[in-house]
Amino acid sequence: MTKHLVLVGGGHAHMLTLANLHTFVEKGYRVTVVGPSAYHYYSGMGPGMLGKTYTPNDIRFATRHVVEKQGGTFLLEKAVSVDPVAKTLSLQSGDQIPYDIVSFNAGSYVPRLNLSEMSDDIYSAKPIERLLEAQTRILALCSRKKITIGIVGGGPSSAEIAGNAWQLAQNSGKYLPEIKIFAGKRFMSRFPEKVRTKVEHALKQRGISILSGSYVESIESKTAILASGERHDLDVIFLALGVRPNRLFKDSGLPTGPDGGLRVNAYLQCTAHPDIFGGGDCIYFEPRPLDKVGVYAVRENPVLYANLMAALEGNPLQSFDPGGDYLLIFNMGGGKGVLQKKWLVLDGKLAFFIKDAIDRKFMKKFQAIEK
């Protein structure tokens, strides 16, 4: 019987596998890709899309088209659990897919606060498509009145959203909004002081407030209520509370790390089930816990592609070396950024120019596969 490879998610760690899907098909393997969208949006350019530096077409990869043109099957579905004994993947629709080898690049989600109500004006930083919805809403509101935008979270995602919401309103809005970041205990606390200072300076120069020392405890009727008792009325709210791995691994009883990510070994292979692989934000790399940054997913690409083929063919696997330090650049909006590489920290237009060039090159490389 023909062996069946199933890929869950079309994210960064699966890009090389998707680009070479035809090599599996040509060897006689059946390939199915499961994803919640026909497109994969590059998260590193998401805030830039919010600020209209990029269009949706600039930052997305046509996953469905690429899969189908190479002879694979694409299912517009969401995976909810996996049975490693029966070797089946369960979908939200209730359907089940048998697999011989399955690989997860199922991404991460932004946890929501315990909201007393659901609101059209509350947007998570992920999925990236939500930022496009937020863009439309902010422009509609800013054309009529002065509004207040609140970003809940104290990390780089909140900084980038704030800077690009400011850019959006500067370039397109009639009324400029007030923007507040609710940073919790301390803004950008896990970054070096020099980086944190430059990011803070860029935001405060634009009149963006950073409130720290107290967490947002709840949101009621678009009012953020802090643990200190302070209340802030908001018109648009972003949730940027960091990311957590997809919950399906815990729900399926698979081995997970402290963060809930699929626990994998040096071969990006589930520590308990050798026919399950994974990469990107959804895994916990047992040899050395990794930051939730896209650079590791990109570095995992060639190893994951090689090991999926090797697993199908019964050949030895390659080990993944995460590598050393990586370049980190934040898009602060207004054509400016903050860059860190080892001891080097710089801000301004050059930092954004470097980020923009790297991101556009990355997207063009994989968008070329669509043609």
At 106 the pLDDT is 84
Q: Tokens representing 367?
A: 């968008």
CATH 3.50.50.60-classified regions of the chain:
4-36+77-109+243-326, 122-242
**Are 185 and 215 spatial neighbours (Cβ–Cβ below 8 Å)?**
yes
Query: In sequence order, which residues have a C-beta less than 8 Å from that of residue 121 and are 6 or more positions away?
Result: 137, 222, 235, 236, 237
The single residue listed with the structure tokens 């199915």 is: 32
Q: How sure is the predictor about 218, in pLDDT bands with cuts at 50, 70 and 90?
A: confident
At 360 the pLDDT is 96
User: Counting beta carbons within 10 angstroms of the beta carbon of residue 369, is it exposed (0 to 12), middle (13 to 18) or buried (19 or more)?
Assistant: middle
Comparing 169-173, 212-216, 316-320, 340-344, the range with the smallest average pLDDT is 169-173
Q: Is the pLDDT of residue 14 over 60?
A: yes
At 111 the pLDDT is 61
Strand order through the sheet with 79-83 = 79-83, 88-91, 96-98
Which tens digits make up the pLDDT trace of 134-177? 999 999 999 999 999 999 999 999 999 999 999 999 988 689 99
Q: Residue 313 to residues 10, 29, 263: CA-CA distances in angstroms?
A: 23, 10, 23
Q: Is the pLDDT of residue 321 over 90?
A: yes
- For 122-242, CATH gives 3.50.50.60
**Distance between CA atoms of 234 and 249, rounded to whole angstroms?**
35
Mean pLDDT, the chain, whole residue set: 92
- Rounded to an integer, the average pLDDT of 112-123 is 66
At 125 the pLDDT is 86
Angle, alpha carbons 201-328-61 (nearest 5°): 115
Taking phi over 0 as left and psi of -120 to 50 as alpha, with beta for the rest, 221 belongs to left
What sign does the dihedral 130-136-142-145 (CA atoms) show? negative
What's the pTM value of the predicted model, to 2 decimals?
0.91
Which tens digits make up the pLDDT trace of 71-108? 999 999 999 999 999 999 999 999 999 999 999 998 76
The single residue listed with the structure tokens 């509101």 is: 141
Q: Residue 298 to residues 22, 46, 197, 227, 371: CA-CA distances in angstroms?
A: 20, 17, 29, 39, 22
At 220 the pLDDT is 85
Q: Residue 281 to residues 42, 153, 245, 295: CA-CA distances in angstroms?
A: 13, 19, 6, 10
CATH architecture of 4-36+77-109+243-326: 3-Layer(bba) Sandwich (3.50)
Q: Is the pLDDT of residue 275 over 90?
A: yes
**Distance between CA atoms of 161 and 371, rounded to whole angstroms?**
32
Which tens digits make up the pLDDT trace of 331-344? 999 999 999 998 99
